[in-house]
Structure 1
Amino acid sequence: MTKRTLAILAAVGATTIYGLNHTIAKGAMPHYIQPFAFIMFRVVGAAILFWVISVFGPKEKIEKKDYLRMLVCAILGMGVNMLVFFKGLALSTPINSAVLITITPIIVLILSALLIKEKILPQKVLGIAIGLLGALGLIVFGSEIRQDAPNIPLGNFLIFMNSVFYGSYLIVAKILIAKYHPFTFMKWLFTLGILICLPFGYTEVTEIDWANLPFDAIWRMAFVVVGTTFCTYLFNIFALTQLKASTLSAFVYVQPLIGILYAVATGKDSLTTLKIAAACLVLLGVYLASRKPKPRLN
């Protein structure tokens, strides 16, 4: 099996875990654990796991010239990215988050054009417009009333911003991933993530009622730390060594299918006309924006 095939399998595994996470993490928030406390567990747990497995990797030091880029990666990928997503998920619904997360490839495309001057063809511009229209539809009109989703429009907006930050992280991280071993890269990123997230999550961690925490909440927290954080970041970082950032971001298309099916099957969410219409617009936009143009015949 080639490294590229393994990278593709790793990307599929990561996006599958992410698809399940929309419902699994939502089941623990906000009744048992607040979103920022959840993020503290993610970064601390993942940092410990990556430091443990780093003994099996090479002994590397981060060059001084890479300090700033490493910090930017930590802020985008282990700081604001996680904070806004989990806060958004706490305020919104699993299906909304599964749909909105698919806007990531469009964000990567836009940022690639701005940062590395990648040319955007008219077809891609149309795709970007359609995809953003679907996302904005959920943000502006997704105002259903649910006890476990107290502010769906705001939650949808925060989930949308997560795509912006994660897309930025994929582009900025690409250079460092080519230079450092994944274990070295991730252990330092999550260590920096602890420092970034601590001011936001410390108070919420102290508010957790550990004595009355049921097993249903504990296994969900463990899944988020080990699966959604450690495994997915490890899978994605390996995938990035063999795939382009734009290619890896395209695997996010699988998330709505998995996320919606799991949420509906477990009774944690339901489909509405707005959600279906928004999902169709987003997926159509992503398809148009990421499809390779046909070569011209002379």
Structure 2
Amino acid sequence: MTKNVYKAHFALLAANLIYGANYIIAKGIMPDKIRPSAFVFIRLACCTLLFWILKTLFIKEKVERKDLLRLALCGLLGAAANQLLFFHGINLTSPVDASIIMTVTPVLVLIFSVFILYERITKNKLIGITVGGIGAIILIVYGGNAAGTSSVLGNVLVFLNATSYGLYLVVVKTLMKKYNAMTIVSWVFLFGFIFMLPFGLPDILATDFSAFDTDTYLVIGYVVLFTTFFAYLFNVYALNYVSPSVSSSYIYLQPAISFIMVSIYAYVLMKDEYAQDINLIKILSCLLVIVGVYIISKPPKDSSKLKAKKQHY
């Protein structure tokens, strides 16, 4: 792999470590301190401002009018719908369940990529998704019968979030060769904020900010700066050098990270409500999805080099 591709994989790893921790961190203050839609309002408002400040200072690039509709679609899929569905879903269901369900994203991305980008499905992608998918299926089937904090409605909302995010990854890829990553993410968040307003504004006006404590502000800060600002930048940067299916495959790491966080909350911080979400089957399943990430991220062998090698012998 080239140096830029290595950097792209490192960016994807960092983004998904952040996302994996976010499942339980964000859930910790909902709905007692803040409602999901109000949380999304703060998240999008702050990051839209941050992205546009950076773009204004460092990126002097204009978007063609014909591309605004596609950017608006990206804003709907990758910011508004994606975040509203996720926060309402995680508010209702287990962090482990949510991270498991999100592993369906690479499958959806491959399907969308075949029809929209005409992407070729390589052997490594099929094997990696199959191995990781087996781990995810085991977790989903077993998790549905296990005790814990799961919810059918919450799981459905998280699945719809995965679908929205998967389609976003494919649609935004078509803009990557034309515009700077900062330009794209700035417009995506601006449109996302506009689409979110009817849902988030009533809840933000009803929020009792006087009830916020230090932990509440720390959680909001983590979600705004890391889960949103840095993670989105990492993902957009990576899409310049790897395909949407490779990018989405890193989501297989999230159940493992979520499981570790739930373990800390259950056994270190003594949060008993999370203890039932942890068992040996889930540990083994998470190992499978990690192996799936490794396989799918391996570059295909250079057929020209193999051919030259054979001719040499």
Q: 2:209 is matched with which residue?
A: 210
Shift of 1:284: 8.4
Looking at structure 1, the residues matched to 196 and 177 of structure 2 have their Cα atoms a distance apart, in angstroms, of: 26
TM-score (norm 1): 0.85
Aligned to 2:69: 68
Q: Which residue of 2 aligns with 1:48?
A: 49
Residue type of the partner of 1:4? V
Contact between 2:176 and 2:240, CA under 8 Å: does it hold in 1? Answer: yes
1:239 corresponding residue in structure 2: 238
Name the SS for the 1:33 alignment partner: coil
SS in 2 for 1:266: helix
Which region of structure 1 is more displaced relative to structure 2, 270-279 or 236-245?
270-279
Instruction: Look up the match of 2:106.
Output: 105
The residue that corresponds to 1:142 in the other structure is 144
Q: What is the rounded CA distance, in whole Å, between the counterparts of 1:145 and 1:286 in structure 2?
A: 28
Deviation at 1:14, TM superposition (A): 0.5
Quote the residue 1:197 is aligned against.
196
Q: Which moved more, 1:264-273 or 1:181-190?
A: 264-273
In structure 2, the partner of 1:15 is 16
Shift in CA distance, 290/238, structure 1 to aligned 2, threshold 3 Å: closer
Higher relative contact order (CA 8 A, sep 6+): 1
Take 2:147 and 2:201, find their aligned partners in 1: how far apart are those partners? 30
Query: Superposed, which structure 2 residues align to 1:219-258 within 5 Å?
Result: 219-258=218-257
Taking the aligned partners of 2:292 and 2:176, their CA distance within structure 1 comes to 29
2:310 aligned partner: none
- Superposition pairs for residues 67-216 of structure 1, below 5 Å? 67-118=68-119, 142=144, 149=149, 152-216=151-215
Deviation at 1:290, TM superposition (A): 8.3
User: Matches of 2:22 and 2:124 in 1, distance apart?
Assistant: 32
Does the 8 A contact of 1:103 with 1:282 survive in 2? no
Q: How far has the Cα of 1:287 moved from its partner?
A: 8.4
Contact 2:11 2:234 in 1 (8 A): yes
Is the CA contact (8 Å cut-off) linking 1:28 and 1:217 kept in structure 2?
yes
CA-to-aligned-CA distance 1:137-194 (integer Å, 9 cap, x gap): 8778737676xx5x71111111111111111001000111221112211111111111
Q: CA–CA distance in 2 between the matches of 1:207 and 1:183? A: 33
1:47-84 residue CA offsets vs partner (Å, 9 max, x unmatched): 01111111343311111111111111111001111111
Counterparts in 2 of 1:106 and 1:282: CA distance versus 1, 3 Å: farther
Q: CA deviation at 1:130?
A: 8.9
- The one-character-per-residue Cα deviations of 1:82-136 (angstroms, maximum 9, x if unpaired) are 1111111000011111211122111111212232344668998898799778767
Distance 1:119 1:245, change over 3 A: closer
After the TM superposition, which of the residue ranges 284-293 and 224-233 deviates more from structure 2? 284-293
Unaligned runs of 5+ in 2: 308-313
Structure 2 residue 37 is matched with structure 1 residue 36: yes
Aligned-pair identity (%) = 38
Are the counterparts in 1 of residues 103 and 133 from structure 2 also a CA contact under 8 Å? no
Q: Please tell me whether the aligned partners of residues 253 and 293 of structure 2 are also in contact (alpha carbons under 8 angstroms).
A: no
In structure 2, do the counterparts of structure 1 residues 291 and 235 end up closer, same or farther at CA, with 3 Å as the change threshold? Answer: closer
Higher-Rg member (1/2)? 2
2:78–2:165 contact (8 Å) kept in structure 1 = yes
Instruction: Report which stretch shifted further, 90-99 or 284-293.
Output: 284-293
User: Is the deviation greater in 264-273 or in 159-168?
Assistant: 264-273
What is the deviation of 1:206? 1.6
CA contact 1:139–1:154 (8 Å) conserved in 2: no
Shift in Å at residue 214 of structure 1? 1.2
**What CA distance in whole angstroms lies between the structure 2 residues aligned with 1:203 and 1:133?**
42
Partner letter of residue 172 of structure 1?
A: V
1:249-298 residue CA offsets vs partner (Å, 9 max, x unmatched): 11112211111111111225231577568768877888898888999x9x
Confirm or deny: 8 A CA contact 2:106 2:129 kept in the other structure: no
Residues 102 and 159, structure 2, Cα contact 8 Å, conserved in 1: yes
Question: In the comparison of the two structures, how many residue pairs are matched?
Answer: 295
Report the Cα distance in structure 2 between the residues aligned to 1:187 and 1:35, rounded to whole angstroms. Answer: 22
Q: What is the root-mean-square deviation of aligned Cα atoms in Å? A: 3.1
User: Which amino acid in the other structure matches residue 108 of structure 1?
Assistant: V
Contact 2:103 2:136 in 1 (8 A): no
1:5 matched to which residue of 2? 6
